[in-house]
Amino acid sequence: MGALSNIKIADFSRVLAGPYATMLLADMGAEVIKVERPVLGDDTRTWGPPYDAAGNATYFQSVNRNKRAVTADFSTQQGRAKALEIISTCDVLVENFAPGTMEKFGLGYSDLAAKFPTLIFCSISGFGSGEVARTLPGYDLLVQAMSGLMSITGSDAQHPTKVGVALVDVIAGLHTSLGILAAINHRHVSGHGQKIEINLLSSALSAMVNQSGAYAGAGVTPTAMGNAHPSIAPYEVYETKEKKIVIAVGNDAQFAKFCVAIGADFAHDPRFATNPERVKNRNVLNELLTPLLAHKSAAQWSEVLAKVGVPAGPINTIAEGVQFAQSLGLAPIVTITDPRDGAVSKTIANPITFSATPVEYHLGPPSLGADD
């Protein structure tokens, strides 16, 4: 029995934030019913390449395992009735249509709360439900730009760069799952459902933590610094004899160990003795480190520095990252044979480990309308 095996979720969401949240909850035992448009389905069913061996878009596959799948056309009375029937059996509803869409079909929060007062209704949008916000399309790339995330990502301030994955969608999905769990607990105490609103912009601002916090708390507007850290040094990417390495020295004690390991006496130099001084003299320090690090490969330095407790490691490809996780016994890839049609899928494992209620993988990503 999964931790959420008593919870049933109607998943009306598409693309990434909502499906990611509901997949995580499904891994923990929740029964998730994915409701899609007939014929077309979730947009990401056609977002490829790449495709898996069976021709399925891996984008869709990556966030939709452990779900049942039905279709419903909200523009028809029959489709709306089917949606209501599903909702009537569920504890939670998740949707990320354009604001006002669910209301247009009589499936908005006020309509449903009157019929199902214990329902938890979670709505995900790009910018919120305000009058102006409702008119803005909520795409991850757009929010990365407008939130300021791209302004702190890239080689410098002149080259704003998006993160290499739809990170804001993922973070919004995590906030969604957290909000749902909190609302479930509140319902357990009070007996009442409620509406949860998650938007990508607020999620991005929250997720920029120390960077957005610098503006909130000190009026400082951060800018892109490449791989350097605005508040810690040395904490960035360095060239070695073979392959680049990340060295992440977090405090003065680590820096002293680092200096011994590389055969330098920088820890007693007043320019580098404390972290604020190292940040101030970052460029000078890096010029001194470059020739020293060139004597060994990234793998060799990683081994040397690990022995003295200094965080360091090579910059891997995703394939190498997965292989590294496998070497640590983390089992990062799960293979599922779907009992509905025998389809075999491979996806990245849920990262949460429970001692009493482990995550389980019962269903692969469903074909469109697999459970109609």
d(CA 138, CA 157): 25
Contact call for residues 305 and 259 (beta carbons, < 8 A): no
Question: Before 50, cis peptide (omega within 30)?
Answer: yes
d(CA 40, CA 99): 21
* Number of residues assigned to the chain: 372
Active site residue 371: no
Tracing tokens 């405090």 back to the chain, one arrives at: 251
Contact call for residues 97 and 129 (beta carbons, < 8 A): no
Active-site entry in 11, 27, 91, 169: 169
d(CA 91, CA 107): 15
Residue by residue, DSSP assigns 156-224 as STTS----SS-HHHHHHHHHHHHHHHHHHHHHHHHS--EEEEEEHHHHHHHHTHHHHHHHHHH------
- What tokens does 254 get? 């680590």
The helix/strand/coil state of 74 is coil
Tracing tokens 């056309």 back to the chain, one arrives at: 73
| Catalytic machinery residues | 169
